[in-house]
Amino acid sequence: MRKMSRILMFSFLFVFLASAAFAAFPERSVSVVCPWGAGGGTDRLTRFMASQLEKELGKPFPVTNKTGGNGAVGHSAGAFSKPDGYTITMVTLELATMHWMGLTELTYADFDYVIQLNQDPAGVMVKADAPWKNLGELLEAVKATPEKFKFSGTAAGGVWDLARIGMLDKAGIPVNAVSWIPTTGAAPSIIELLGGHVEVITCSLPEAASQIAAGEIRPLAIMADIRDSAFPDVPTLKESGIDWSAGTWRGFAVPKGTPAEVIDVLYNAMKKITDSDEYKEFMGKNGFGVLVRGPKEFAEFARQQDTDLKNVMELGGYLKK
Amino acid sequence: MKKTLRILFGVSLVLVSLWVIRTSSTFPEAVSAGKKIPGPAFFPVLLSVVLIPCGLHQAVSALRSGTEAAGRRWGSGTVNGAIVILSLVVYVQLMQWMGYALSTFLFSMYLLLRLRVGVLKALAVTIITVVFILLVFGRLFQIQLPLGELGIPW
Amino acid sequence: MFEEILAVFRPAILFPWLLSMAFGVLIGGTPGLTATMGVALIIPVTYYMEPLAGMAMILGVSFTSIFTGDIPATLLRIPGTPASGAATLDGYELTKQGRGMEALSLDLLCSAIGGFIGILLLMAVAPPLAKFALKFTNFQYFWLGIFGLSMSAVLSAGRPINGVLSATLGLLVSTVGMDITTGLPRFTGGNMELLEGIGFIPAMVGLFGLSEVLKNVGDAKLLGKSSIPEFGRISLLRTLKIILRNKMTVLKASLLGTCVGALPGAGADIAAWVAYGMEKKTSKNPEEFGKGSIKGVIAPTSANNAALGGTWIPALVFGVPGDSITAIVLGAMLMYGLRPGPLIFQENLELVHGIFAVGLISQILLIPVGLIGIRIFGKILRMPRNIVMVIVLIFSVIGSYAIRNSFFDIYIMAAFGVAGFFFEYLDIPLPPLILAIILGPMIEDNLRVGLIKTHGGFGEFIFDPICLTLIFLILFVFFGGPVMKFFRRNKRK
């Protein structure tokens, strides 16, 4: 058995070395586009991956933050650069939503996909002294007096808003009956919740982890297919009989038409990073959920998200075309 | 000169405000819990309504101010100002083409010489500035300075 | 506390700490590089250090750069960071009178004292202050934004009506881009770069940096000469005496600054204006302000550094950011495996005490570091104008570009530079314009989101103790001068 695995390992190594020798990519530095600002969560992940890639492939991977237009500027800059693999882009869920909002012509189809690195499901949270002990009670109350309820979590039409719309719709509650209080992200929404100015927030659980741990915020549900091992007591929506899961995701993509060998080199290097303990430790510390998908699965997932989210955006009145 | 400029400024404020009001009228309305609420047009229109009297005030008070007051002279200084703006535009175009270092060098040398700084002094100032930015922005802060289409690595 | 203070004097902490303060001097003194950006840029470096060393670097950069932002503001009237807007008034006037060094040394010591008071308040009353700050929501933030803006509109040099015009125009500029409540792009003309709005950094660099360049190159006779002929000398003892004479101003401004900083929706930029305005409005000699008043230098600089301590209050007590710097700090804490928020006082009390100690000592270190900064910038900025202006121009261009790697932002900078040049010529004050661009989103979004909450009603914006107080203060800003005069006259009778 041991011999077998050793042979396997050597043959893998051989194939890997051979392919590396064959494909000379990368010959020079590879620029990494991050569509979000320096210091934020996506930026931290991008910079971590860039520093690991530098070790893995031996060439510099300088990160460029090209922010603006709800991610439209950075995604477009990445998608419309030369398809030679020397510009890779950290793509996020907004790729699937912004063109429906009429912000850009860019769609998921303008990219070839390398690897999906992460997925964070949405949560449903209320203040610790709120009267609703579980999701059922909350939704009953919402059904009874929807106009009383204020939900928050991010900007209008942002990922956590879409998660909220989908949940309410699947629970049979008219989505426009409750108010969505737009903010610039999860952190200000948490302030609003703690101050008692909104009733419910729907950001990811790790974003509110310290307030949950301190007993100031009560999580009621998670919009995922299975429970999160970091929050084992929080039930999924499916357990409450609501067939809905939603969340944000991040991954690397290259411009459409990039040679397959180049994508392979990038994917293999990144796969090695995602298999490492360092990666798991980094993701754990930052509260990012780990979910790795290869090029084909990631492309399929992005396509799927595009149609799924279109429906939700239509319900929320965000569809522009 | 100042009088004419002030009148122009006042009138253009009014025109901009009117344009804002017209553009805003095409914005969709906002709804909260079934009720119409002030939407995306509300704030810009409100500001325009404040700006129109401000603009009129500028124009009218300039008209009333009587004779043209002797303001600054518009001689070689204006030419220098125009040159700064024009060379700035050229500089940005050059930077996109030949990258940060070379374009900054040319821009800095041109302006310094134009402003009558000695050649050696200009050269010293230019080199120190270019290298300083390269080191501090590029190396220390890891900001990607423009590479340019020529692909010169700095 | 004593052991904790000793514990921070280890090479592993002291070395990166001092280095970060040197960075802070560079960042603050360069128009276009802000304290927030400085912190974001050094964060990746700190991941390989122990948490306290990282926190020391963040504190060092932020306090130093907020101070050094005042150096170009005082010497050239170009604010190095947005929080230095108010320093362009009386500080620059003093420079014109040949007392630049006096203004800067006052600025430095008051920054240190303000920062010290801010940290002391953070240590002493963080929980109750944070609880109070949570009471603020859209209705209150809306009025707070208007309050800060009206201060700057009324108090900048020139006639108040021109200040109101400038502020209104700035607010209009801030509506360009995507509307946060509906996601609708407004006034962008289909340009994607404008979706995020007109960046206030390029706008600020243009309004103050480029317009100053244009003004200077226009005067051919002066080009070969320095723009700061007389500089004065540093005398810390004399400065200290001046501060002692104005100790109530320092104290009031620092308390006010910390409270404003503690509000999660407001930061150092607004704190400086509020402190300047309160000082002028309650002064017995308001006519001195804007003409080189000592109090007009002391108040804003004490307040903006005190506000930095204030921003850590919600960050440590609730784990929610007090401003854009502490937002990055919270992210960094996660990287260290810490859990920011209420539990940090139980789980990492040692680190919290370490942060307090570092914060306090940073203020003392700020004095020598700041003096070096004043020396260096003083030397550079006193070179002949034709050299200084070209250097300012290059830094303006690179700084505007570097914010988000965008050539478009350089053109924004250029456009605002030309506009700023003409506005100056027409006696339209620039500080309200830039503050309005910064505060515009805060004012409009809070108004609109508040209206979503009330389903269109305006009652909540008025019938609330905090709102009423702010409305009263705003009315006082506009009409307070004559009222105060009236009361004083009656008293004398």
- Return the pLDDT at A20: 47
**Secondary structure letter of residue C88 according to DSSP:** G
CB contact under 8 A, B34 and A147: yes
Query: What subunits touch chain C, counting only 3 or more CB pairs under 8 A?
Result: A, B
Q: Which residue has the tokens 């969709």?
A: B28
Tokens of A167: 């949940």
Q: How many residues does chain C have?
A: 493
Q: Tell me the pLDDT band of B76, cut-offs 50, 70 and 90.
A: low
What is the phi/psi pair of residue C264, to 5°?
A: -60, -20
**Secondary structure letter of residue C210 according to DSSP:** I
CB contact under 8 A, A63 and B32: no
HEC assignment per residue over chain A = CHHHHHHHHHHHHHHHHHHHHHCCCCCCCCEEEECCCCCCHHHHHHHHHHHHHHHHHCCCCCEEECCCHHHHHHHHHHHCCCCCCCEEEEEECHHHHCCCCCCCCCCHHHEEEEEEEEEEEEEEEEECCCCCCCHHHHHHHHHHCHHHCEEECCCCCCHHHHHHHHHHHHCCCCHHHCEEECCCCHHHHHHHHHCCCCCEECCEHHHHHHHHHCCCEEEEEECCCCCCCCCCCCCECHHHCCCCCCEEEEEEEEECCCCHHHHHHHHHHHHHHHHCHHHHHHHHHHCCCEEEECHHHHHHHHHHHHHHHHHHHHHHCCCCC
Residue C148 predicted with pLDDT over 70? yes
Contact C288, C97 (CB under 8 A): no
Tokens of C488: 């004083």
Residues of C in contact with B82 (CB under 8 A): none
Query: What subunits touch chain B, counting only 3 or more CB pairs under 8 A?
Result: A, C
**Closest partner CB to C343 (pick from A69, A197, A210):** A210
- Non-local (6+) Cβ contacts of C183 within 8 A are A70, A101, A103, A155, A156, A157, A318
- Non-local (6+) Cβ contacts of C376 within 8 A are C25
Residue C464 predicted with pLDDT over 90? yes
C-alpha span between B40 and B29 (Å, rounded): 7
User: Using CB atoms within 10 A of its CB, is residue A170 exposed (0-12), middle (13-18) or buried (19+)?
Assistant: middle
Residues 3-32 of B with CB under 8 A from C: 5-6, 9, 13, 16, 20, 23-24, 27-28, 30, 32
CB contact under 8 A, B43 and C422: no
Whether the CB of A31 is below 8 Å from some CB of chain B: the reply is: yes
Contact A131, A282 (CB under 8 A): no
C-alpha span between B86 and A12 (Å, rounded): 60
Give me the tens of pLDDT residue by residue for chain A, a chain 321 residues long. 455 566 555 555 555 554 444 457 888 889 899 998 877 789 889 989 999 999 999 888 888 888 777 788 889 989 988 899 999 999 999 999 989 988 788 999 999 999 999 999 999 999 999 999 999 999 999 999 988 899 999 888 889 999 999 999 999 999 888 999 988 888 889 989 999 999 999 999 988 888 898 899 999 999 999 999 889 999 999 998 999 999 999 999 999 999 999 999 999 999 999 999 999 999 988 889 999 999 999 999 999 999 989 999 999 888 875
Contact C451, B28 (CB under 8 A): no
3-state secondary structure of B36: strand
Residues of C in contact with B6 (CB under 8 A): 426
Residues 302-321 of C with CB under 8 A from A: 314, 318-321
Whether the CB of C402 is below 8 Å from some CB of chain A: the reply is: no
In angstroms, the Cα distances linking A257 to A96, A294, A302, C340 are 19, 17, 17, 44
- Return the pLDDT at C343: 75
- Return the pLDDT at A176: 84
Beta-ladder partners of C384: C226
Say yes or no: ipTM exceeds 0.95. Answer: no
CB contact under 8 A, A177 and B142: no
Could you tell me the end-to-end alpha-carbon distance of chain C, in angstroms, rounded to an integer? 54
Span C267-292, pLDDT tens digits:
888 899 999 988 988 888 888 888 88
- Return the pLDDT at C257: 94
Beta-ladder partners of C45: none
Domains in chain A (CATH in brackets) are 28-119+248-316 (3.40.190.150), 123-240 (3.40.190.10)
Beta-ladder partners of A34: A65
> DSSP characters for B37-76?
E--TTHHHHHHHHHHHHHHHHHHHHHHHT-SPP-----SH
Residues of B in contact with C410 (CB under 8 A): 88, 92
Over residues C349-370, mean pLDDT: 93
C-alpha span between A25 and C229 (Å, rounded): 58
CB contact under 8 A, C186 and B35: no
- Return the pLDDT at A141: 95
Angle, helices C294-318 vs C268-281, to 10°: value is 140
Helix H or strand E segment including C206: none
Instruction: Quickly count: other Cβ atoms within 10 Å of residue B67's Cβ.
Output: 6
3-state secondary structure of B30: strand
% pLDDT > 90, chain C: 46
Helix H or strand E segment including C186: strand C185-186
CB contact under 8 A, C411 and B47: no
What is the phi/psi pair of residue B4, to 5°?
A: -60, -45
Residues of B with CB under 8 A from a CB of A: 31-34, 142, 144
The order of strands in the sheet holding A200-201 is A179-181, A150-152, A200-201, A123-127, A217-222
Contact A253, A293 (CB under 8 A): no
The better pLDDT of the pair B84, C405 is held by B84
Of C45-54, C95-104, C381-390, which gets the smallest average pLDDT? C45-54
Residues of A in contact with C409 (CB under 8 A): none
Beta-ladder partners of A120: A248
The better pLDDT of the pair A104, C172 is held by C172
The one-letter amino acid code at C319 reads G
Nearest to B81 by CA among C411, C214, C386: C214
The one-letter amino acid code at C24 reads G
**Among chain C residues, CA nearest to B39:** C448
- Return the pLDDT at A22: 46
**Among chain C residues, CA nearest to B103:** C394
- Signed CA dihedral, C113, C119, C120, C122: sign only: positive
Query: What subunits touch chain A, counting only 3 or more CB pairs under 8 A?
Result: B, C
C-alpha span between C401 and C35 (Å, rounded): 16
A121 to chain B, minimum CA–CA distance in Å?
27
Q: Which residue has the tokens 């083409």?
A: B97
For residue A174, is the peptide bond before it cis, meaning its omega torsion is within 30 degrees of 0?
no
Span C429-441, pLDDT tens digits:
998 998 899 889 8
Nearest to C140 by CA among C252, C258, C264: C264
CB contact under 8 A, A37 and C40: yes
Instruction: Determine the residue among B143, B145, B147, B154 to mutate to test chain C binding: the one whose Cβ has the most chain C Cβ atoms within 10 Å.
Output: B143
Q: What count of CB pairs under 8 Å joins B to C?
A: 161
- Non-local (6+) Cβ contacts of B41 within 8 A are B24, B25, B27
**Closest partner CB to C320 (pick from A102, A147, A190):** A190
Span B17-74, pLDDT tens digits:
999 999 999 998 887 666 788 889 999 999 999 999 999 999 999 988 866 555 555 5
C213 to chain B, minimum CA–CA distance in Å?
8
Beta-ladder partners of A64: A33
C-alpha span between A318 and A42 (Å, rounded): 24
A183 to chain C, minimum CA–CA distance in Å?
8
Beta-ladder partners of A251: A91, A116
**Among chain A residues, CA nearest to C135:** A195
CB contact under 8 A, B142 and C41: yes
Tokens of C421: 């040049």
**Closest partner CB to B33 (pick from C181, C182, C455):** C455
Tokens of A172: 């049979």
- Return the pLDDT at A18: 47
- Return the pLDDT at A268: 95
CB contact under 8 A, A62 and B142: yes
CB contact under 8 A, A176 and B142: no
C-alpha span between C286 and B34 (Å, rounded): 50
The better pLDDT of the pair C44, A228 is held by A228
Residues 62-81 of B with CB under 8 A from C: 71-72, 75-78, 80-81
Over residues C62-68, mean pLDDT: 94
The order of strands in the sheet holding A111-121 is A63-65, A31-34, A87-92, A247-255, A111-121, A290-293
Whether the CB of A157 is below 8 Å from some CB of chain C: the reply is: yes
Contact C389, B115 (CB under 8 A): yes
- Non-local (6+) Cβ contacts of C450 within 8 A are C137, C138, C139, C142, C460, C461
What are the counts of helices (DSSP H) followed by strands (DSSP E) for chain B? 5, 2
**Among chain B residues, CA nearest to A316:** B31
In degrees, to the nearest 5, what angle opens at C-alpha B124 toward C-alphas B121 and B127?
Answer: 145
**Closest partner CB to B33 (pick from A31, A62, A179):** A179
CB contact under 8 A, B115 and C218: no
Over residues C330-354, mean pLDDT: 81
**Closest partner CB to A287 (pick from C41, C178, C334):** C334
Q: How many residues does chain B have?
A: 154
Q: Which residue has the tokens 């009874």?
A: A144
